[in-house]
């Protein structure tokens, strides 16, 4: 029977893709505000690198490895969709089953056929809408890792790391967790049947464990624990959080891959859990430190978003309050661990994303209810321990794989290219020493002292400490009557 | 001539400026400064990590006056800057050898 794509679903998936992309610059602000003035641009650039590199890899082979027919045991996709050439044809579609509702009685109810089986219609949306949507997940997962290695990672090595990590870790894990193919898909999603609706394992536990590994590979920042490493711009952190929260509706509700009831349930659960987590974090903070902080509110919201990501399809809104409050409290306690362990996970990627993702993933086994779109009962709804067992296996498999694979990639890159900038460059600030830029020009005293060196046709070397560079040789002044014209 | 230097609480700057204006002082130099005295700093908490911020933001005020006015101006300044609480700052007077008005080249008292 000839049919057409569902325009409503397609519109929602495309809009969600844009929402999820918006999260990565949001993350750049979120992280950028938390570092010191001298490394905010590097923090932003690490997210920018993820956007640039992963997008290209995705078209070349990333989508194919993640989301095409399994090559065996649910471990990896094929090379069939490399280049996304065939996938752009109108005939390349993905289907989603949408339950029908029977409005004939006095109250609407789920439609069933004569034998009592639930009736559904099949909606179709273009493969490339799905490919665009999933690309954004790959980008932000890579970008999330950068928070663990703030202020000290060599940018070129980071770029190579992103390319290798996406290929070796993210694409396979996305296949495990997100690829459904009637029982022949990814091993965690389609065979183990652990629930991870929007990426609690594939995105958050994955990036958190990778952050932990890289924090070990790179070591602590100079002066860690001794120097005050205060956030230089807390409003930036809040702005970034706002962008993340906004984009997260695409991340979670978009993962329903249809503009209908599941997306709406997930939307409400996302909002509810995020609010509850903000409250949870702030209460812990008030009890422990005596104050409600803005950074705590922003961190709590992100923790809640992380926690509800895997669980938003399997709990009801009351469960979402529990998921949020528990995740917020757990994460605000978990961020203290790095000081006990002596690990400089600079911006708490482990504390927020690994622990938040783990909490959300494991709570599904307790709080899942079959009234929710995922239709599974957890322990508290009479489902026993069965679902929790699946959740534990899925979560720890991803954590272990990501941690050890990242550790190996990190150490190899550290040996081959060097993953860390020199001590002198680090103390001076990576923005100036590696990017030849500084984030702010706040005084009008320094500005006129900067001289244009356009027209000298030699790249301006980054100032790396020591005596200032000698002045350029005298020549005809630019723009003078005798000098050549300079086009600015 | 004397140079009066005062390091005061930033929010007292307007009071001091108004008081000096009323007294007849027509110019001053103000810069942002940071420091600490007996007040010490304060603590800030970020994600549970506590930082002691030793240096407190202050305003540094400089006024050039003729010798006979120095004590009165100092008094006016101190009175206006006072809150009575710890951290009000310090003021001191330094002898000045020469002053020149850049625009005209006038010297010393004429330059004030």
Which residue reads 């495990």 in tokens? A176
User: No. of H helices and E strands in chain B?
Assistant: 2, 6
DSSP-derived 3-state class of residue A164:
helix
**Chain B, nearest residue to A333 by Cα:** B48
Chain B residues with CB under 8 Å of A221 CB are none
pLDDT, residue A450, reads 64
- Rounded distance, CA A161 to CA A163, Å? 5
CA-wise closest residue to A251 among A137, A128, A125, A358:
A137
| A230 touching chain B per CB within 8 A | yes
**Chain A, nearest residue to B53 by Cα:** A228
Q: Nearest Cβ partner of A296 from B44, B47, B53? A: B47
Return the HEC string of chain A: CCCCCCHHHHHHHHHHHHHHHHHHHHHHHHHHHHCCHHHHHHHHHHHHHHHHHHHHHHHHHHHHHHHCCCCCCCCCCCCCCHHHCHHHCCCCEEEEEEECEECCCCCCEECECCCCCECEEEEEEEHHHHHHHHHHHHHHHHHHHHHHHCCCECHHHHHHHHHHHHHHHHHHHHHHHHCCCCCCCCHHHHHCCCCCCCCHHHHHHHHHHHHHHHHHHHCCCCCCCCCCCCCCCHHHHHHHHHHHHHHHHHHHHHHHCCCCHHHHHHHHHHHHHHHHHHHHHHHHHHHHHCCCCHHHHHHHHHHHHHHHHHHCCCCCHHHHHHHHHHHHHHHHHHCCHHHHHCCCCCCCHHHHHHHHHHHHHHHHHHHCCCCCCCCCCCHHHCCCCHHHHHHHHHHHHHHHHHHHHHHHHHHHHHHHCCCECCHHHHHHCHHHHHHCCCCCCCCCCCHHHCCCCCCCCCCCCCCCCCCCCCCCCCCCCCCCCCCCCCCC
Chain A residues with CB under 8 Å of B53 CB are 228
Contact A228 B47 (CB under 8 A): no
For β-strands B56-65 and B2-8, DSSP reports them as antiparallel
**Direct distance between the N- and C-terminal alpha carbons of chain A, in angstroms, rounded to an integer:** 62
Burial label, A99 (beta-carbon count in 10 A; 0-12, 13-18, 19+): middle
Q: Nearest Cβ partner of B47 from A228, A290, A295? A: A295
Contact B51 A231 (CB under 8 A): no
Contact B47 A339 (CB under 8 A): no
Helix (H) or strand (E) holding A161: helix A155-165
**Chain A, nearest residue to B51 by Cα:** A228
Contact A228 B51 (CB under 8 A): yes
The residue among B29, B46, B55 with the most chain A CBs within 10 A of its CB, best to mutate, is: B46
Min Cα–Cα distance to chain B from A465, Å: 25
Contact A289 B48 (CB under 8 A): yes
Q: Nearest Cβ partner of A335 from B44, B48, B52? A: B48
**If you compute the radius of gyration of chain A from its CA atoms, what whole number of angstroms results?**
25
Q: Nearest Cβ partner of A348 from B47, B50, B53? A: B47
pLDDT, residue A482, reads 44
Q: Which domains does chain B have, with CATH numbers?
A: 2-111 (3.30.70.120)
- Rounded distance, CA B98 to CA B110, Å? 11
Show the CA angle centred on residue A163, arms to residues A162 and A167, nearest 5°: 110
Which residue reads 């509850």 in tokens? A276
Min Cα–Cα distance to chain B from A354, Å: 16
Q: Answer yes or no: are the C-beta atoms of A62 and A56 closer than 8 Å.
A: no
pLDDT, residue A255, reads 96
Q: Nearest Cβ partner of A336 from B44, B48, B53? A: B48
**Chain A, nearest residue to B54 by Cα:** A228
CA-wise closest residue to A41 among A434, A377, A406:
A434
Q: Answer yes or no: are the C-beta atoms of A195 and A312 closer than 8 Å.
A: no
| A231 touching chain B per CB within 8 A | yes
Contact A295 B44 (CB under 8 A): no
Q: Answer yes or no: are the C-beta atoms of A277 and A56 closer than 8 Å.
A: no
Chain B residues with CB under 8 Å of A230 CB are 44, 46, 51
Q: Answer yes or no: are the C-beta atoms of A355 and A345 closer than 8 Å.
A: no
List chain A pLDDT tens, one digit each, 488 residues: 678 899 999 999 999 999 999 999 999 999 999 999 999 999 999 999 999 999 999 999 999 999 999 998 999 999 999 999 999 999 999 998 888 888 888 888 888 888 888 888 899 999 999 999 999 999 999 999 999 999 999 999 999 999 999 999 999 999 999 999 988 899 999 999 999 999 999 999 999 999 999 999 999 999 898 887 899 999 999 999 999 999 999 999 999 999 999 999 999 999 999 999 999 999 999 999 999 999 999 999 999 999 999 999 999 999 999 999 999 999 999 998 999 999 999 999 999 999 999 999 999 999 999 999 998 999 999 999 999 999 999 999 999 999 999 999 999 999 999 999 999 999 999 999 999 999 998 766 555 556 667 666 555 555 555 555 555 555 544 444 444 444 44
Q: Answer yes or no: are the C-beta atoms of B55 and A230 closer than 8 Å.
A: no
Q: What is the pTM of this model?
A: 0.87
pLDDT, residue A483, reads 43
Give the Å distances, CA to CA, from B22 to A43, B17, B76.
Answer: 51, 9, 10
> Averaged over B76-83, what is the pLDDT?
94
Chain B residues with CB under 8 Å of A288 CB are 48
Helix (H) or strand (E) holding A426: helix A423-428
Min Cα–Cα distance to chain A from B78, Å: 29
Length of chain B in residues, anyone? 112
Chain A residues with CB under 8 Å of B50 CB are 289
Average pLDDT value over all residues in chain B = 91
**Chain B: residues touching A (Cβ < 8 Å):** 44-53
Min Cα–Cα distance to chain B from A289, Å: 7
Mention every residue, 6+ apart, whose C-beta is less than 8 A from residue A199: A137, A141, A177, A178, A251, A255, A309, A310
Q: Answer yes or no: are the C-beta atoms of A217 and A419 closer than 8 Å.
A: yes
Contact A293 B45 (CB under 8 A): yes
Contact A228 B48 (CB under 8 A): no
Contact A293 B53 (CB under 8 A): no
Chain B residues with CB under 8 Å of A228 CB are 51-53
Contact A335 B44 (CB under 8 A): no
pLDDT, residue A488, reads 45
Contact B44 A230 (CB under 8 A): yes
Contact A335 B46 (CB under 8 A): no
Chain B residues with CB under 8 Å of A293 CB are 45-46
pLDDT, residue A362, reads 96
| A295 touching chain B per CB within 8 A | yes
Confidence category of residue B86, pLDDT binned at 50, 70, 90: confident
**Chain B, nearest residue to A289 by Cα:** B48
Show the CA angle centred on residue A448, arms to residues A447 and A453, nearest 5°: 95
Which class is domain A8-424? mainly alpha
If you write DSSP's letter for every residue of A275-325 in order, what string do you get? HHHHHHHHHHHHHHHSS--HHHHHHHHHHHHHHHHHHTTTS-HHHHHHHHH
């Amino acid at each position: 029977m000839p049919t057409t794509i569902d325009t409503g679903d397609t519109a929602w998936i495309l809009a969600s893709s844009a929402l999820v992309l918006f999260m990565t610059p949001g993350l750049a602000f979120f992280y950028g505000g938390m570092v010191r003035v001298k490394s905010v641009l590097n923090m932003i650039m690490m997210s920018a690198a993820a956007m640039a590199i992963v997008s290209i890899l995705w078209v070349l082979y990333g989508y194919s490895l993640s989301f095409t027919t399994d090559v065996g045991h649910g471990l990896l996709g094929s090379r069939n969709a490399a280049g996304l050439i065939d996938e752009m044809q109108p005939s390349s579609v993905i289907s989603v089953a949408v339950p029908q509702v029977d409005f004939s009685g006095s109250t609407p109810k789920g439609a069933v056929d004569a034998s009592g089986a639930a009736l559904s219609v099949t909606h179709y949306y273009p493969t490339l809408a799905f490919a665009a949507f999933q690309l954004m997940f790959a980008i932000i997962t890579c970008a999330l890792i950068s928070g663990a290695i703030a202020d000290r990672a060599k940018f070129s090595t980071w770029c190579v790391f992103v390319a290798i990590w996406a290929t070796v870790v993210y694409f396979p894990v996305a296949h495990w967790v997100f690829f459904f193919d009637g029982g022949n898909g990814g091993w965690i999603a389609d065979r183990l049947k652990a629930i991870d609706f929007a990426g609690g394992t594939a995105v958050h536990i994955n990036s958190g464990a990778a952050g932990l590994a890289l924090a070990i590979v790179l070591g602590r920042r100079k002066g860690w624990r001794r120097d005050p490493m205060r956030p230089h711009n807390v409003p930036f952190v809040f702005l970034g959080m706002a962008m993340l929260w906004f984009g997260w509706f695409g991340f979670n509700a978009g993962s329903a891959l249809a503009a209908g009831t599941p997306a709406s349930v997930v939307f409400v659960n996302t909002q509810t859990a995020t609010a509850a987590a903000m409250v949870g974090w702030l209460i812990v903070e008030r009890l422990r430190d005596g104050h409600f902080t803005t950074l705590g509110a922003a961190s709590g919201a992100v923790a809640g978003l992380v926690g509800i990501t895997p669980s938003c399809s399997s709990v009801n809104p009351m469960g979402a309050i529990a998921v949020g409050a528990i995740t917020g409290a757990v994460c605000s306690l978990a961020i203290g661990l790095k000081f006990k362990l002596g690990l400089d996970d600079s911006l708490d990627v482990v504390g927020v994303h690994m622990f938040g993702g783990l909490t959300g993933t494991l709570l599904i086994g307790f709080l899942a209810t079959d009234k929710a779109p995922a239709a599974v009962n957890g322990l508290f709804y009479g489902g026993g321990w069965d679902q929790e067992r699946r959740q534990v296996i899925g979560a720890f498999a991803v954590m272990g794989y990501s941690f050890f694979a990242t550790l190996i990639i990190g150490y190899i890159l550290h040996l081959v290219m060097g993953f860390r900038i020199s001590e002198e460059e680090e103390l001076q600030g990576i923005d100036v020493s590696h990017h030849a830029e500084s984030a702010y020009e706040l005084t009008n005293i320094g500005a006129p002292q900067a001289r244009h060196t356009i027209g000298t046709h030699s790249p301006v070397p980054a100032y790396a400490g020591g005596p200032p560079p000698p002045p350029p040789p005298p020549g005809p002044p630019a723009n003078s009557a005798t000098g050549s014209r300079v086009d600015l | 001539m004397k140079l009066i230097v005062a390091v005061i609480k930033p929010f007292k700057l307007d009071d001091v400026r108004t008081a000096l204006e009323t007294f007849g002082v027509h110019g001053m130099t103000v810069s942002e400064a940071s420091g600490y005295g007996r007040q010490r700093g304060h603590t800030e908490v970020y994600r549970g990590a506590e930082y002691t911020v030793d240096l407190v933001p202050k305003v540094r005020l400089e006024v050039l006056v003729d010798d006979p006015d120095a004590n009165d101006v100092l008094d006016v300044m101190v009175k206006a800057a006072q809150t009575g609480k710890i951290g009000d700052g310090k003021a001191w007077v330094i002898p000045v050898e020469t002053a020149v008005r850049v625009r005209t080249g006038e010297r010393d008292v004429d330059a004030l």
